[in-house]
Structure 1
Amino acid sequence: MPLSHHDQMTLLKDILNNHQVDCCGSVAECEQLERLVKSLMVNPNIHENIKPILQEVFNYSQNGQYTQHLDFHIESNQENISEWVDQMNIYN
């Protein structure tokens, strides 16, 4: 059974929250973020105000997949992650 867009948003926020709390993550999580964002970007039920945030999360996940120092990448984006999740909570 495919995930609804609400479930996808919840999963996206959960992964980002884990990155924020743990200050670490995996390449697989970055790949999952990318897949979730791609799916949400084409979903007509997603509020237009979330799409720029999703683009930022997509860039974050892309950079995370290819960095040599993923934990540093996550740590340096702590403020962004917090802002993204807060904004997603407003529109979701």
Structure 2
Amino acid sequence: MPIDYHHQVGLLKDILSEHQSDCCGTVAECEQLERVIKSLMVNTQLDQNVKSVLQDIYTYSQSGVNSSELNDHIQSHQGHLSRWINDIDSFS
């Protein structure tokens, strides 16, 4: 059974918050971000600003999956993570 919009947004925020607070993460978490974002992006009722934030997070997760040093990748995006978490709070 697929999870609904609010649960998907909550999952995104949880993973990003973990990356922000722990400054580390796993490839599986990045892949999960990608799957959730793909699912959210097909929602035709999403505001364009929300889609823009989701696209930024998707790019971050793709880069993380392909990074040889994932923890360094996460560390270098701490400012973005904070902004994305705030953005998610504003549209959730």
Task: Give TM class, smaller chain.
Answer: over 0.9
Q: Decide whether the 8 Å contact of 1:27 with 1:65 is kept in 2.
A: yes
Residues 49-68 of structure 1: pairs in structure 2 closer than 5 A:
49-68=49-68
Residues 1-92 of structure 1: pairs in structure 2 closer than 5 A:
1-92=1-92
Q: Distance in 2 between matches of 1:27 and 1:75?
A: 15
Q: TM-score, normalised by structure 1?
A: 0.95
SS in 2 for 1:24: coil
- Say what the alpha-carbon RMSD is for the aligned residues: 0.9
Aligned residues: 92
Write the deviation string for residues 3-52 of structure 1: whole angstroms up to 9, x where unpaired. 00110000000000000000000000000000011111111343332110
SS in 1 for 2:44: coil
Q: Distance in 2 between matches of 1:5 and 1:81?
A: 20
SS in 2 for 1:3: coil
Structure 2, gaps ≥5 residues long: none
Q: Distance in 1 between matches of 2:79 and 2:45?
A: 27
Write the deviation string for residues 32-78 of structure 1: whole angstroms up to 9, x where unpaired. 00001111111134333211000000000000000000000000000
| Amino acid corresponding to residue 42 of structure 2 in structure 1 | V
